[in-house]
Structure 1
Amino acid sequence: MESVGWRHALAHCAWWFFHIAGVVAVFVLPSDLRIGQAVAWNVWLFSIVLSLNIFAHYAVRFSDPGWARPPGSIGKPPAASSTTAISPHMPQFNAAATDCESATLWTASSTADSTSQLLCPQCGCLRRLPTTTHCRYCNRCVEGFDHHCMWLGVCVGARNHHLFARYTLVQTTVVLLSFHYTLTACGRPSPYGYIWAYAVLTPMSLLVLIMSFLTVIHVFLVLTGQTSRQVMQRIRWSGRGTRTGAQQPGVGRLFSPHPSLGVVLQNGTYLLCGVRPVWLVQGAWLHKASGWVEHVLDNRFYSCC
């Protein structure tokens, strides 16, 4: 665990180093942050977005990802997860496995009551959700486990996945602004030469692609109420079915459990505001609208999924 602590500390220092280096680069280059009629407006915009990025970073870093608790402990109820509402018959973990992270999945033929109160053989915590997984870095079980982020030094789970998606969104905005300001410096004379602007632009372009992809993926996961581990498990199951000759689901069903429109709107509200309005999944008009959308995507003439 000490080596993991050092990794987290080094990753935290690296995060600050790259951000400081990026800020210095865009301010040293002859970009719109130094030259032009809207210098003050650009500086204020970049400063506000950068401040929001730092706040979002530490909001995730010090958040509770959804730690599972030992049996008999008095605490909060299980972490809210729209995945269980979408797919109540998800496969459960085998309690006989020796490692939660490598636990094999068995087809759930029993009721939800008989699959509750499962204990983790590593930390002894209750696995009250099918998506509860043991993190080998934190040595604790996390409900709705998605992944462990070394840059943030914390797991991403059911209680902070929306915070992580917000952070990636703000971080992507910072990278896009930095890319824009670096691009404005490429056509202007500079005592450092044009080569420096293009040298900074190259890694910025790569970061834009990486962060945009990461943001789209995690916003999609939060809106559909699932984790990246569930998607990967679905892909692995699809591969096994291909080898056995079983009929495979379409691409859409492989990546999404097809939640209702109300659940997507509820998860979107949770992503933006941190609350899940109940009326969004209880309105009759939303059920009708969800049926229309599903009919447009999948009908007897064609199927987008």
Structure 2
Amino acid sequence: MTTVHLLGGSSKARLIEYRKKKIAAMEAALAKQQELASAAEIGAPVDTLPAPTMEFCTVCQLQPPLRAYHCAFCNRCVATFDHHCFFIGSCVGEKNHCRFWWFLLLTSLEVYSCLGVVHSGFHSATSLQGWLQLNSIALVAVLFFYTFAATAYSLCGFHTFLMLTNSTTRELGKGPDNLAYLRGTRECDLPFSNGLVRNLGGFCCLRAGCPTILRRQPWSPAAWKPVGKIERNSANICDNLWENQYYSCC
């Protein structure tokens, strides 16, 4: 059964006004990004090249900010795009990545609880055949939940890494060979990382739009600074956890 929602004149006007404000906010973010790019030092070995900008989106008719991507499934540009999740039926990006992480964490805890319930349903028997007859349903259930648990724990751990390093699934998957704004970087550079504390603050609060909600201001995407000079020999381990002067994970 298909439900059709008809918008009245006032609803259409509000929708058009909302889209205009959204486009204006993204254009303002782009202007700020370009202003930062003019003073940014591009990382070696291509520091003499101009800072890359995102291609103009002909579908959304706007200039997307750095790290954005037009999702073919959602048919819209998503700021700080991570991936399109078919399980939740939506994209995971700048504004909802934190909530997606909480979803994964709570799912992992729920699966752990389910495993405890399933294990309590096993019964002892004097023979293997008798044990299989008594516990056949519980055995199928525990195999299912262990598979589900492996998936949930892996995803939760991976997105925890993304949270702590200010990275995205798309950037790790594509890499500098396929993303122009990552050129000159290596796997362990984590070019958008600002240290653990600032990464957590940005992921949990700033990128989720908490300040704009509290101040009742329209949300606008982050104006990411183009990749600057990469410090691979720093003594600050907290801000350079993956590669520093003491060790390298690459």
Into which bin does the TM-score normalised by the smaller protein fall? Answer: 0.5 to 0.7
Give, in whole Å, the separation in 1 of the partners of 2:82 and 2:106.
20
Deviations along 1:114-159, one digit per CA (max 9) or x if unpaired, are: x47x5302332330x2211111111111111111112211111110
Give, in whole Å, the separation in 2 of the partners of 1:298 and 1:230.
18
8 Å Cα contact 1:165-1:215 kept in structure 2:
yes
Aligned to 2:222: none
Could you tell me how far 1:293 is from its partner in structure 2?
3.3
Give, in whole Å, the separation in 1 of the partners of 2:123 and 2:191.
44
Aligned to 2:87: 151
Decide which of 116, 124, 146 is 1:180's aligned counterpart: 116
Give, in whole Å, the separation in 2 of the partners of 1:204 and 1:173.
12
Give, in whole Å, the separation in 2 of the partners of 1:139 and 1:185.
47
Give the aligned residue type for 2:82: D
Bigger helix fraction: 1
The alpha-carbon distance between structure 1 residues 248 and 120, as it changes in their structure 2 partners (threshold 3 A), is closer
Q: Secondary structure at 2:154's aligned position in 1?
A: helix
Deviations along 1:58-88, one digit per CA (max 9) or x if unpaired, are: xxxxxxxxxxx99x922384599xxx99xx7
> Which segments of 5 or more consecutive residues in structure 2 lack a partner in the other structure?
3-15, 126-130, 179-183, 212-234
1:202 aligns with 2:138: no
8 Å Cα contact 2:195-2:240 kept in structure 1:
no
1:167 aligns with 2:103: yes
The alpha-carbon distance between structure 1 residues 152 and 292, as it changes in their structure 2 partners (threshold 3 A), is closer
Could you tell me how far 1:261 is from its partner in structure 2?
3.3
Matches within 5 A, 1:1-305: 73-75=20-22, 77-78=25-26, 109-111=49-51, 115=53, 119-127=56-64, 129-187=65-123, 193-234=134-175, 249=186, 252-253=188-189, 258-267=193-202, 269-270=204-205, 275=210, 291-293=236-238, 300=245, 302-305=247-250
Residues paired across the two proteins, number: 189
Aligned to 1:20: none
Give, in whole Å, the separation in 1 of the partners of 2:81 and 2:151.
22
Q: Secondary structure at 1:144's aligned position in 2?
A: coil
Could you tell me how far 1:258 is from its partner in structure 2?
4.6
Give, in whole Å, the separation in 1 of the partners of 2:42 and 2:57.
18
Could you tell me how far 1:292 is from its partner in structure 2?
4.9
Deviations along 1:179-201, one digit per CA (max 9) or x if unpaired, are: 111112123689x8211111111
Give the aligned residue type for 2:194: P
CA RMSD of aligned residues (A): 4.3
Give, in whole Å, the separation in 1 of the partners of 2:239 and 2:76.
39
So what's the TM-score if we normalise by structure 1?
A: 0.49
Higher RCO structure, 1 or 2 (CA under 8 Å, sep 6+): 2
Give, in whole Å, the separation in 1 of the partners of 2:148 and 2:201.
31
Give, in whole Å, the separation in 2 of the partners of 1:156 and 1:73.
23
Give the aligned residue type for 2:199: V
8 Å Cα contact 2:83-2:93 kept in structure 1:
yes
The alpha-carbon distance between structure 1 residues 148 and 194, as it changes in their structure 2 partners (threshold 3 A), is same
Give the aligned residue type for 1:125: L
Aligned to 2:228: none
